[in-house]
């Protein structure tokens, strides 16, 4: 269960949230919890989460290690403060900051090489979905393929994909559980085709887009959905803690 705070929270707010989340995450056996914090409070979240089940994650990174790249943060800098995961290619980065598939693929490769867990985001706009009978898949399969081309035989467990239909992000419009399963099941099938069954079963695939405590159960119940990447509903500690608890119920019911 992944919280994406986006451009929210001061250091003090991040400290209070993390302190309150730590015992709730510790109780959620079998659920991996990640908090993707802004750079300004990331080292603090990572310090507080050290030796805990919470993974401190970055929302972005640059694929070069150092140099004249004003405003960017590199993978060694993230490693220096104990970051364990990074979002790569979030649709807001792709749309608002012009990140194309090549840049996203290079970022993913650098993160995997550093043994940081990438959360690679893919997804289509409403226009793309409606442009042709299989508009969703034309876009999403191309995004997944481009990332996979750049990776050098990764283990399935070293990768996380997040299917986030852009029309469902921050809009309150959630994809139906069947839409989520359809896209995520097809991503899994494509990964099988590329890397074989064991590889594809090891990859965790999340759904993202207006996930909330009252819809997470039916989304998580879908066969291929391994978790959720949550923006708006992760900002309040109580609502994110409820999502973590809902994920744990799914883990229990799966045996």
What's the token pair of residue 106?
A: 């290079």
CA angle 141, 172, 224 (to 5 degrees): 40
Among 77, 205, 219, 230, binds ligand PGA (CB under 6 A): 230
Q: State yes or no: residue 169 binds ligand PGA (CB under 6 A).
A: yes
Cβ closer to ligand PGA: 169 or 191?
A: 169
Instruction: Give the footprint of ligand PGA on residues 120-139 (CB under 6 A).
Output: none
Cβ-closest position to ligand PGA: 231
Position 164 contacts ligand PGA (CB under 6 A) = yes
236 is known as an active-site residue? no
Smaller CB separation from ligand PGA, 197 or 214: 214
What are the φ and ψ backbone dihedral angles of 160, each rounded to 5 degrees?
-130, 130
Q: How far is the CB of 135 from ligand PGA (least distance, A)?
A: 20
Q: Which is nearer to ligand PGA, 176 or 253 (CB)?
A: 176
- Active-site residue (options: 32, 99, 124, 164): 164
What does the alpha-carbon distance between residue 77 and residue 249 come to, in Å, rounded to a whole number? 36
Contact call for residue 57 and ligand PGA (CB under 6 A): no
Among left, alpha and beta (phi > 0; psi -120 to 50; other), residue 71 is left
Is residue 118 part of the contact set for ligand PGA (CB under 6 A)?
Answer: no
Contact residue for ligand PGA among 75, 117, 160, 211 (CB under 6 A): 211
Which token pair is 150?
A: 């750049």
Q: Does 156 bind ligand PGA (CB under 6 A)?
A: no
User: Per the structure block, which two tokens stand in for 27?
Assistant: 């109780």
Q: Residue 191 or 243: which CB sits closer to ligand PGA?
A: 243
**Is 218 designated active site?**
no
Q: Does 210 bind ligand PGA (CB under 6 A)?
A: yes
The answer to whether residues 212 and 241 touch, using CB atoms and an 8 Å cutoff, is: no
88 binds ligand PGA (CB under 6 A): no
| Three-state secondary structure call for residue 116 | coil
**Residue 244: closest CA among 9, 24, 20:** 24
Phi-psi category of residue 172: left, alpha or beta, with phi > 0 → left and psi -120 to 50 → alpha? left
The residue range among 75-83, 106-114, 133-141, 226-234 that interacts with ligand PGA, by the rule CB under 6 A, is: 226-234
Please, which residues have CB within 8 angstroms of residue 57's CB and are 6 or more apart in sequence?
Answer: 2, 34, 35, 36, 37, 83, 84, 85, 86, 87, 117, 119
Residue numbers at the binding site for ligand PGA (CB under 6 A): 4, 164, 169-170, 208-211, 229-233
């Amino acid at each position: 269960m992944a919280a994406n705070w986006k451009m929210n929270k001061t250091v003090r707010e991040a400290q209070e949230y993390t302190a309150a989340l730590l015992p709730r995450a510790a109780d959620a056996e079998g659920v991996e919890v990640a908090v993707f914090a802004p750079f300004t409070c990331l080292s603090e979240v990572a310090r507080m989460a050290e030796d805990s089940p919470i993974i401190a994650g970055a929302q972005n990174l640059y694929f070069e290690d150092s140099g004249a790249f004003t405003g960017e943060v590199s993978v060694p800098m993230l490693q220096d403060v104990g970051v364990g995961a990074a979002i790569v290619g979030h649709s807001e980065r792709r749309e608002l900051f012009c990140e194309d598939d090549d840049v996203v693929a290079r970022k993913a490769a650098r993160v995997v090489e550093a043994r940081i867990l990438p959360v690679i985001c893919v997804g289509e706009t409403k226009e793309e979905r409606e442009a042709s009978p299989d508009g969703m898949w034309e876009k999403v399969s191309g995004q997944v393929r481009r990332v996979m081309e750049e990776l050098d035989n990764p283990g399935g467990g070293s990768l996380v994909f997040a299917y986030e239909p852009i029309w469902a992000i921050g809009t309150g419009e959630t994809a139906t559980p069947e839409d989520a399963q359809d896209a995520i099941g097809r991503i899994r099938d494509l990964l099988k085709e590329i890397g074989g069954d064991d590889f594809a079963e090891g990859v965790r695939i999340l759904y993202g887009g207006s996930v909330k405590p009252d819809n997470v159960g039916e989304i998580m119940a879908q066969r291929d959905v391994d978790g959720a990447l949550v923006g708006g509903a992760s900002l309040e500690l109580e609502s994110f803690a409820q999502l973590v608890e809902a994920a744990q119920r799914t883990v229990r019911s799966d045996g």
